[in-house]
Structure 1
Amino acid sequence: MGFLYTAEQLQQLASSNASTSIDEAVLHLCQATGILRRKRYMHRGSRRSFTIYHQATEDAIPTLQSRCVSPVWSTPVGNSAPRKKVFHQHLITIRTMPVTATAAAVATAPVTAATDSTCAGSGREANLCRVNLSNCGPFQDRHEQDSSLVKFAVLNARSVSNKAFILNDRFTSHHLDFLFITESWLSGDDIIALGDLCPAHCSFLNSPRVSGRGGGLITVFKNSFKCRIVPTDLFSTFELQLFKINASVLCALVYRPPKMYCNFIQEFAELLSCMASRADKLLILGDFNIHICCPSKPLVNEFLGLVDSFNLVQSVMAPTHQKGHTLDLVLSSGFSVSNVKIVDTGVSDHFMILFESSLFCPPLHPPHPTPLSELLIPPQPHSSLILLCSLFHLLS
């Protein structure tokens, strides 16, 4: 069904002035086909009401006009009369021509809305899409919903100096609470790189390598957690950063350089014994450079046996290196680790390990002081009379 107007009919439409109401079925058909929809450039607050007009003759073409109210400033009379804003109504003919409807189309036209010839805002309803909101609950952000979860990440960065801004963005985008970095390659006086690495409202623990180049350990954490370095002995086969989180969890960030096989199992067993005697909740993580994916190797076999003897749970089950080996590990005891994910950040040949812990170590909140009225024992009725009677009985 298309436009079937001739040139004479179009000119007749342009000069149309008479107005009478058209058939209701034709009006409903125009509404169903979108003819009466409000144009996009018309502002919703334009005070326009749409009215259908057509000439009195049978072959007249219906038109759609809008009664628009526009403000005009009046001309003052004399010096004392202020200018006033008055409103004038005028008709604007909208050049939207209805399609020619056949008798069958008019008979099957859907019956919708109003029967009045003046349809104020009738096109507004046709532009709306009905949305079923019965299954929609109240919106709640995921990070607010999982506020009891502490989010961690571990990464072998292989130099932080040229990746500080990227790691800062990873900390913010993943909504982390802790970021553990091995092989930072920073010294103790690299203040600029450490400042670029640490996001707002966060702090860091920096443990650079004592001698030589490379190595280094950094822990970035939010200020809502209280972290304190725990002094410990130096080990020759691995680097260590040992600290407590909220005085309840003992955490050890470890980096073992490759080819450091001699005495590693013995020194790592000493570390585990020291940690087990100081806390019940242990978290040991970092780059161990041990191919856990190859249990047949002697070093792997001894390491896994040592981990089992201290009831530690190893939570990383996927490759953490580009060559397909599992080198970065997360060992825990006394709490559960969940939602372990391996993410390729593109800043190193190691992948980032993301994991969470439910009800592991919630942020510190200062306890509310107990009101003095709750600490005082309320006086009992007739307590003084009972005391006097007791004293009189003892004296007699």
Structure 2
Amino acid sequence: MTDVRTVGVEEELLLVDARTGDPLALSAAVMSAASREGNGRDGPAAGALESELKCEQVEFATRPVLRMEELAGEIVRWRAEAARHAAGAGGALAALATSPLPVRPSTTSGERYGWVSRQFGLTARELLTCGCHVHVAVASDDEGVGVLDRIRPWLPVLTALSANSPFWQGQDSAYASYRSRVWNRLPSAGPTDLFGSAEHYHRQVRDMIATGVLRDAGMVYFDARLSAAYPTVEIRVADVCLEPGTPVLLAALCRALVETAARDWRAGRPPAGVGVGLLRLAAWRAARSGLDGPLLDPRTMSPAAPETVLDALLDHVRDALDDHGDLDLARDGLTRLLTHGNGARLQRRLLRTTGDLRAMVAECARLTTACAV
């Protein structure tokens, strides 16, 4: 495993009332309890619980690991920690990418979050969304930008398989990932043009910050970017997933995409020249359909069945998955998603069963906690 890239995951999670399903502004209490116990006591590499933009959510970051079994353990560990602290504060934890129930979220205190709220107005005030970000190690910024240029067409597929936000403000949005539609209201969010070089990437980031629209590099919300804090490519298109096995699958696929792209970059194979306009349509289609309707095939940008597109993704990264020992995990995970559905399908199925959004959210909170113990 010495040549395998490390991978880590950040998950944002919703804090809710376990009985009613209403979002609760408990992040300060959760963070206070975690701090008293020595949150991240093994150092930053051990991961940590963190606050986020809204008081109704909390985030954790895993350690960078080599093996997917280690990552699964990290996700279970940190979900359990967050759930325990949420319960101590009188709430529960729900791995939902949006709140199905109506909510007027409150902004976490602090200069940075205050700036975001003032700058982006109603967009920021409404922005209670929970994503899953995957970090994959790269050897240099040059390699990282080579990767970014080559993974662009495949990112919407990751949105489709992770989709877990069909409801918004008490209504069925008709989308599988409405989170991604809300998130893309931000001015720097979404797909990117080809960068070509690390120099051009950094120049574009500097130019964007110089406009004054963004405060710093952390607000460059590309679908995938060079991390400002770590030597990684950060892939940011996924919803947080209800079942903890799905982010492990997602991480395995992201690492394989990065490795495949890096090999193509080193070999001098050019990236696909797909324009941002088509990439936006592919992202919209993935958010709308999830795994229950057509997607745009990354190879042709034409409509195709989700089974066809997931098969294409598996074929594209097969060699890297095999080299990492993740091929069976990826094949089985994709088959399971196609058969049983992603979080969006599960939420809608639970609503049909319970007949009530509150009961559905409470059941998702129970499943999140049950998965994490």
Is the shorter-chain TM-score for this pair beyond 0.5, marking a shared fold?
A: no
| Structure with more of its chain in helix, by fraction | 2
What TM-score, normalized to structure 2?
0.23
TM-score (norm 1): 0.22
